[in-house]
């Protein structure tokens, strides 16, 4: 204990007294304590930092907001316990049975089609599309999914790309059960990665690794080649690049908007009355996320297929992306925030930190010279 006290006293000696560097008229408190206003006046950097702590709209985009507890009273607690028994003891086993049956039907049909019809590409692709839509329908049924689709169903046309806001990997499943999209998505490990490299690759899906710069060039080339093909499945892109909690939309990447193609916006909005469909991949595996959905009452959401958009004369791809983001945000009732979703996966660059440190040092030196 004495060692801790001595070390803390040594640290206190090393710390400068900020009051010595401020004008005496700025210290009005009789106790001699420095007020927050004086600290914030010392540097705009501190002001920015305090503002970020008070209103961190970036972190809020990637947090699940649990509902307030409603069952902790003598009247509702027994009903809540009954609901737990029904969800885990009755609905969950039935849903596992439904999903297992779906996989048996899918695999017993997909494997022969994939292996025996290699000489009949057109027929094979058509059957594989139907089978992928079927297994996605079984997934939605295993959540007791209640999905309302608004607008005309997408059709296969060249020079066309679909973009949607992104809450979870189940966005892809919900859209796929209606139309066999070819999607561009981050590579995943485990059984999801196995599906990506086998089943979903057969419908033209494109996978990338965001940590490898070479993948970006390869993906950009594959995207251009895909939208040019008349027989390819419609291309679906989630331009946010990461899952957002269905209250906000972050910046759209411009890749989908510089292909010279017609962009068809899709807005997805989940109702949190029964379960929060947001997937926080840093805190939860996709398997646990599916278990959470399968033990809920239902997954309820709306999907809007919105009016196709084209690049306007004089409009840049970035402006085009923002215009489409406006359309999706308004339709789904989401709040726009000016953040890049990839910041969730990376730290600020050393150069950015050095610039901030240099600016802070210059401000403090100017204040000391006054």
Rg (CA), the chain: 27
The three state secondary structure string of the chain is CHHHHHHHHHHHHHCCCHHHHCCHHHCCCCCCCCCHHHHHHHCHHHHHHHHHHHCCHHHHCCCCCCCCCCCCCCCCHHHHHHHHHHHHHHHHHHHHHHHHHHHHHHHHHHHHHHHHCCCCHHHHHHHHHHHHHHHHHHHHHHCCEEEEEECCCCCCCCCEEEEECCCCCHHHHHHHCCCCCEEEEECCCHHHHHHHHCCHHHHCCEEECCCCHHHHHHHHHHHHHHHHCCCCCCEEECCCCCCCCCCEECCCCHHHHCCCCEEEEEEEEEECCCCCCCCCCCCCCHHHHHHHHHCCCCEEEEEEECCCECCCCCCCHHHHHHHHHHHHHHHHCCEECCCCHHHHHCCCCHHHHHHHHHHHHHHHHHHHHC
pLDDT band at 8 (very low <50, low <70, confident <90, very high): very low
Contact 237, 162 (CB under 8 A): yes
Q: Is 357 exposed, middle or buried (0-12, 13-18, 19+ CB in 10 A)?
A: exposed
Top-confidence residue, 169 or 231:
169
What pLDDT digit, counting tens, does each position of 144-178 carry? 999 999 988 887 777 889 999 999 889 999 999 98
Residue corresponding to tokens 């939860």: 284
Residue corresponding to tokens 């109702």: 271
Rounded CA-CA distance 200/261 in Å is 23
| Residue 31, pLDDT score | 46
Q: How do 248-249 and 182-186 pair as beta strands?
A: unpaired
Contact 166, 240 (CB under 8 A): yes
Q: Which letter, b or e, does each residue of 70-109 get, where b requires 16 or more Cβ atoms within 10 Å of its Cβ?
A: eeeeeeeeeeeeeeeeeeeeebbeebeebbeebeeebeeb
Provide the whole-model pTM.
0.74
Q: How many CA atoms lie within 13 A of 251 on its CB side?
A: 14
Top-confidence residue, 151 or 59:
151
Question: At residue 34, does pLDDT exceed 50?
Answer: no
C-alpha triplet 128, 132, 134: angle, nearest 5°: 115
Question: At residue 120, does pLDDT exceed 60?
Answer: yes
Rounded to an integer, the average pLDDT of 185-202 is 71
Rounded CA-CA distance 288/4 in Å is 43
Rounded CA-CA distance 227/159 in Å is 5
| Residue 15, pLDDT score | 44
The pair of structure tokens assigned to 173 is: 């499943």
Question: At residue 291, does pLDDT exceed 90?
Answer: yes
φ/ψ (deg, to 5) at 198: -120, -75
Question: At residue 70, does pLDDT exceed 80?
Answer: no
Rounded CA-CA distance 327/324 in Å is 5
How many percent of the chain have pLDDT more than 90?
A: 31
């Amino acid at each position: 204990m004495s060692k801790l006290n001595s070390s803390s006293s040594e640290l206190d000696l090393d710390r400068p007294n900020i009051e010595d560097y401020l004008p005496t008229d700025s210290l009005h408190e009789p106790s001699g304590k420095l007020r927050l206003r004086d600290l914030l006046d010392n540097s705009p950097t501190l002001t920015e930092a305090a503002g970020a702590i008070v209103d961190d709209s970036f972190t809020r985009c990637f947090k699940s907001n649990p509902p307030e507890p409603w069952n902790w009273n003598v009247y509702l607690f027994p009903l809540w316990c009954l609901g737990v028994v029904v969800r885990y003891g009755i609905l969950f086993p039935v849903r596992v049975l439904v999903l297992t049956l779906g996989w048996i039907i899918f695999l017993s049909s997909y494997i022969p089609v994939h292996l025996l019809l290699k000489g009949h590409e057109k027929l094979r692709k058509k059957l594989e599309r139907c089978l992928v839509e079927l297994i996605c329908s079984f997934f939605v049924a295993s959540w007791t999914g209640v999905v309302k689709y608004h607008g005309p169903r997408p059709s296969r046309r060249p020079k066309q790309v679909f973009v949607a806001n992104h809450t979870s990997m189940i966005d892809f499943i919900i859209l796929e059960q209606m139309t066999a999209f070819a999607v561009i998505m981050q590579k995943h490990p485990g059984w999801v990665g196995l599906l990506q490299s086998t089943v979903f690759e057969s419908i033209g899906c494109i996978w990338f690794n965001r940590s490898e710069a070479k993948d970006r060039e390869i993906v950009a080339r594959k995207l251009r080649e895909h939208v040019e093909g008349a027989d390819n499945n419609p291309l679906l892109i989630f331009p946010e690049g990461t899952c957002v909690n269905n209250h906000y939309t972050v910046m759209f990447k411009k890749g989908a908007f510089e292909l010279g193609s017609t962009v068809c916006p899709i807005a997805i909005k989940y109702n949190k009355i029964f379960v929060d469909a947001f997937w926080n991949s840093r805190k939860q595996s996709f398997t646990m996320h599916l278990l959470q959905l399968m033990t809920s009452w239902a997954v309820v959401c709306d999907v809007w297929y919105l009016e196709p958009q084209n690049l306007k004369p004089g409009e840049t791809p970035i402006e085009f992306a923002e215009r489409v983001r406006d359309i999706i945000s308004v339709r789904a009732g989401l709040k726009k925030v000016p953040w890049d979703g990839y910041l969730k996966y990376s730290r600020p660059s050393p150069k950015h930190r050095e610039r901030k440190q240099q600016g802070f040092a210059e401000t403090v030196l100017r204040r000391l010279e006054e």
